[in-house]
A and B are shown apart, each in its own frame.
Chain A
Amino acid sequence: MTVNGAPTGYDVPAAGGLGLRHLARSPAALIGLAIIVFWVIVAIAAPWLAPHPPNTPLQALLPPGSETARGAFWLGTDQLGRDILSRVIWGSRRVLLYAPLATAFAYAIGITIGLMAGYWRGWIDQALSRVSDVVLAFPVLVLYILIITTIGASGLNIVIAVVFASTPGVMRIVRGLTLDARGRNYVAAAQMRGEHPLAIMFVEILPNVRGPLIVDACLRMGYVTIGIGVLGFLGLGLPPPDPDWGGMVHEARALAFVFPHIVLFPCAAISSLVLGFNLLADGLRELGRQ
């Protein structure tokens, strides 16, 4: 509403314009994206990349660089003699399947109810907000543990737990952004030409709040990745023997101080993936601010 100091609008990038061309301006975002793409390729190409089958015992407890390991087992082998490199490669599949899946569901639901709460306000908003308050009152991990204890550990159940725990957060953000957007005149203009409320929510409002949502989605992917890893680490994740980064640490926890290489590499793998998401989110946020 500034009258004279108003931006003249010449330099402003298109709303939420987060195309690849924009990305090129942020090194952080580029590096983040590169890391994520790397892991996606690894996950897809796992059968061809992995030098050994992930679950077959070969030779136990070889540290990387040791005489026998050199050349055959780049990252050494674990307590059951399985090749760690192959397990790390195969392990990427699990995380990269469940984290995006769960996040996507959380977003689909969170966006829908967030838009409704923010646009309609009133009792719908009250009800949805109170419910999300209750879910958000739980420390995330406590909630995960509670859910997994009740319904058991399986891929689907992990997705359910993550969706249940993340949706309220998404809903809150969408609701806040919607509350702001619904006061804009373009929404009033849409009402004046008789658009259906759902059209206003999804066609008029949603595209304008996508910038912050994309940033949040990247961050959330990072948290979800951590969450899935932690569940594995605590022994509440997917059942063995298929490799899973968190689970690999869980199984070798007792040996962590003697043969650190067994736990080191899965930890490095998950950290780098999360770093990728965080860098991308940070870069996108900076781009959005410009």
Chain B
Amino acid sequence: MSALLSIRDLTVHYRTRRGPIPAVDRFSLEIREGDSVGLVGESGCGKSTVALAIMRYLGTNGRVAGGQILFRGRDIATLSPRALRDYRGGEVAMVYQEPTSALNPSMTAGQQLAETFRDSDPRSVRATVREALAEVQIGDPERVAAAYPHQLSGGQQQRVVIAMALLSRPKLLVLDEPTTSLDATIEAGIIDLVGVLQRRHGMAVLYVSHNLGLIRQTCRRLVVMYAGQAIETGDTERLLVRPRHPYTAGLLACLPRPNSHKQRNPLHPIVGQLPPPHALPPACRFAPRCAFASPGRCDTLAPSLVESDAGSVRCIRATEIDLSIPPPSPEEPNYPTTNDVVIAARGVRKTFALPIRGFAELFRRRRLTANDGVDIVARHGETVAVVGESGSGKTTLARLIAGLDTASTGEIVVLGEDVARTPVADRRAALRSTLQMVFQDPNDTLNPSHSVARQISRAIRKLGSPTLTASARRAEVARLLSLVRLPPDVASRLPDQLSGGQRQRVSIARALAGSPQVLLADEPASALDVSVQAAVIDLLLDVQRRAGTTLVYISHDLAMVRYLADRVYVMYRGRVVESGPVGALFAPPYHPYTEALLSAIPSVDGPSDQRIVLSPAGQAPGRGCPFAPRCPRRTGEICDTTPPPVQCPEGDHMFSCHLTPDDLGRRQAMPSREGR
């Protein structure tokens, strides 16, 4: 096989106010016909820049400062405008992260597909469009072709983008985080689709991602990038089992493994953060974060990429160090728990009025039911996880408990007091201190205008001790910062001067100001890179260990939930469909929806060919089981017409389904037919 695309010593600079920054530094990569290559690394390490350079599209301030990119031996820098268009449309196609913004909002999906080819017969164009949509497994191509992007779900949009990319049968498909903004169940479908199409058309695929599990399922070869450089390459399987670079090993140690649990195997976050491109360490760029760094060598000698049979690695000490993943820690971390119920919610219902769309609605507003009779209990010192796809009502539940919204009906008892209809402003100050929240998006969790110190001391005043003197308050700020493992000089900074992980720690410090007994954490780590994510989770668990805090952890990341939760609630369309202790919930029998969620976890371990692909959420059924339209285990008419009973396999594990635990257990023991 010959090289389809070869990147040689590519260096890309971005022009900025601080002068040119090197986003990619002497990067080389070879992709053969039909190959599948993964490109991984933390955000900001230069992955997207490589992908865009392949398309010769670096925007107005990007510039190839060195090296070349050859496509079938031809330097793409030399292509004429005409040839460049043929190259982009015909030879190489790209799919990116946000399908919503990648499609033109004022053209239908069909129009956007149709304009790619220069056929003039409208009938044959329409037929081709239909075929293209059918190929990406879109159920009703006619409807989708006539729809505007906003009328499609995220998964459908991404399929349309892929269909568009494939129309001209490219030889190379570049995918830049194509599923990052999608739910795991939808992601699974897209990943499978790409695999199928790749095999069918013999395309090469370059898959850019920060998710090692995904890469493992899709790519034969893997390139790991760090701070603009390739630091390790090799076969995916080899690289994930026996990494040779400390950074690769570090990334793997950050991931929760299927059979690990917080009680036995703590995560090992990588310390520190990616250096900014204008302040790179002089020699090995990973040195400041590397546990194996050897002073005098790693900070003076820039390592080069050394080739061997097993791939290449950029580390001076690659041959001397032992990177086998650290063994489970000997002493069992102790999480103090008691049986005291801290939060008990019963029959919580929350509806929102929808915008008026027609005359009839002037008089009867349509309402969206975000929570539909949710029961949930959290005890002292335990971690309760709430999982489900986006839109299943997790955040609504958290906001109701927090008092940021009030429930329509039902009761929410926090420490013996029903606060279901008490907004947070009207709650007792003591109750406010006791129940705090950590939010998802590190970009807006802190007020951009106030320094860290100011935000934390404000929280101390309002939640902790209002009477502290200024100097005592300063000391308290420093104590809280050290609690979240931040140096004291962070206090004087503005949020913009912090990284995402640091901001999230500050927000935890702020929440801890009143020594809360309950922390509501709404996807606290999902917007962070894996290495940083592990550190934040670690921190939350540390707080919990020390203070016996009850943690309500909301997430769609089942791997993490399996790792840290004691009990789990699975939500679907505003209802809890399954709940129970983590051990029971993650073993058959499970609710068919949980089963699908679990099978969609992209994992760096074990076989991956049992995934259940769910169709996108459709119309909600009137009565019956809410999951019926998508359920792969649907037993028949009864699922549509009769609300499912609660089944109780053992202890406090329960789920609602017409199938009995025995039925389900039997079926789930076999590999699912619905996988590929």
Contacts and interface: CB of A to CB of B under 8 A. Distances in A.
Q: Do A and B share a direct contact in the complex (Cβ within 8 angstroms)?
A: yes
Interface of A: 1-6, 8-16, 25, 184-186, 188-195, 197, 204, 207-208, 210, 290
B181 A3 contact: yes
B447 interface: yes
Ranked 7 nearest A-B pairs via Cβ: A207-B449, A15-B448, A185-B439, A10-B276, A186-B447, A193-B462, A4-B43
A34 B366 CA distance: 57
Given A3-B181, A185-B441, A193-B458, A15 B436 contact: no
Contact of B425 (A4, A186, A191, A210): A191
Contacts of A186: 444-448
Given A193-B459, A208-B449, A6 B527 contact: yes
Contacts of A204: 447
B177 A4 contact: yes
Given A3-B527, A192-B402, A208 B447 contact: yes
B65 interface: no
Given A4-B177, A6-B43, A186-B447, A191 B210 contact: no
Given A9-B497, A15-B449, A189-B439, A4 B404 contact: no
B437 A192 contact: yes
A193 to B, nearest CB: 4
Contacts of A184: 444
B97 interface: yes
Given A186-B445, A204-B447, A12 B496 contact: yes
Interface in B46-73: 48
18 contacts: A2-B97, A2-B181, A4-B97, A8-B500, A11-B276, A185-B440, A188-B437, A191-B425, A192-B424, A192-B436, A192-B437, A193-B514, A194-B425, A194-B462, A207-B450, A208-B448, A210-B449, A290-B17
Contacts of B448: 14-15, 186, 208
A158 B450 CA distance: 38
Residue of A10, A184, A188 contacting most chain B CB atoms (<10 Å): A10
A290 B15 CA distance: 13
Nearest to A193: B462
A9 B527 CA distance: 14
Given A3-B526, A11-B16, 17 more contacts: A1-B440, A2-B97, A2-B181, A4-B180, A4-B529, A11-B18, A14-B496, A14-B497, A185-B439, A188-B439, A189-B439, A189-B445, A189-B459, A193-B514, A195-B458, A197-B425, A204-B447
B443 to A, nearest CB: 7
Given A193-B459, A194-B429, A9 B500 contact: yes
Interface of B: 16-18, 43-44, 48, 97-98, 177, 180-181, 210, 274, 276-278, 402-404, 424-425, 427, 429, 432, 436-437, 439-441, 443-450, 458-459, 462-463, 494, 496-500, 507, 510-511, 513-514, 526-527, 529
A192 to B, nearest CB: 6
Nearest to A13: B496
Contacts of A15: 448-449, 494, 496
A1 B97 CA distance: 12
A185 B458 CA distance: 16
Contacts of A14: 448, 494, 496-497
A13 to B, nearest CB: 7
A66 B443 CA distance: 66
Contacts of A197: 425
A14 B446 CA distance: 13
Contacts of B17: 11, 25, 290
B641 to A, nearest CB: 39
A192 B496 contact: no
Interface of B is mostly: loop
A228 B425 CA distance: 46
A37 to B, nearest CB: 25
Contacts of B510: 189
Contacts of B459: 189, 193
B504 to A, nearest CB: 11
Contacts of A195: 458, 462
Given A1-B441, A8-B44, A189 B97 contact: no
Nearest to B442: A6
A265 B116 CA distance: 59
Contacts of A290: 17
Contacts of A25: 17
Nearest to A12: B496
Contacts of B427: 194
B180 A192 contact: no
Contact of A9 (B441, B499, B513, B526): B499
A150 B496 CA distance: 51
A2 B427 CA distance: 34
B432 A192 contact: yes
A210 B425 CA distance: 26
Contacts of B97: 2-5
Contacts of A208: 447-449
A14 B448 CA distance: 8
B57 to A, nearest CB: 15
Contact of B449 (A13, A16, A188, A189): A16
A210 B448 CA distance: 12
B497 A191 contact: no
Contacts of A193: 432, 458-459, 462-463, 513-514
Residue of A8, A190, A208 contacting most chain B CB atoms (<10 Å): A8
A191 B404 contact: yes
A78 to B, nearest CB: 50
Nearest to B276: A10
A191 B424 contact: yes
Nearest to B498: A9
B276 A192 contact: no
A202 to B, nearest CB: 12
Contact of B274 (A2, A5, A8, A190): A8
A29 to B, nearest CB: 15
Residue of A6, A207, A210 contacting most chain B CB atoms (<10 Å): A6
Contacts of B44: 8
Contact of B437 (A5, A13, A189): A189
Contacts of B507: 189
A233 to B, nearest CB: 42
Residue of B437, B441, B496 contacting most chain A CB atoms (<10 Å): B496
A31 to B, nearest CB: 20
Contacts of A13: 496
Contacts of B513: 193
Nearest to A11: B16
Nearest to B21: A11
A12 B496 CA distance: 7
Contact of B278 (A6, A10, A189): A10
A6 B443 contact: yes
A280 to B, nearest CB: 20
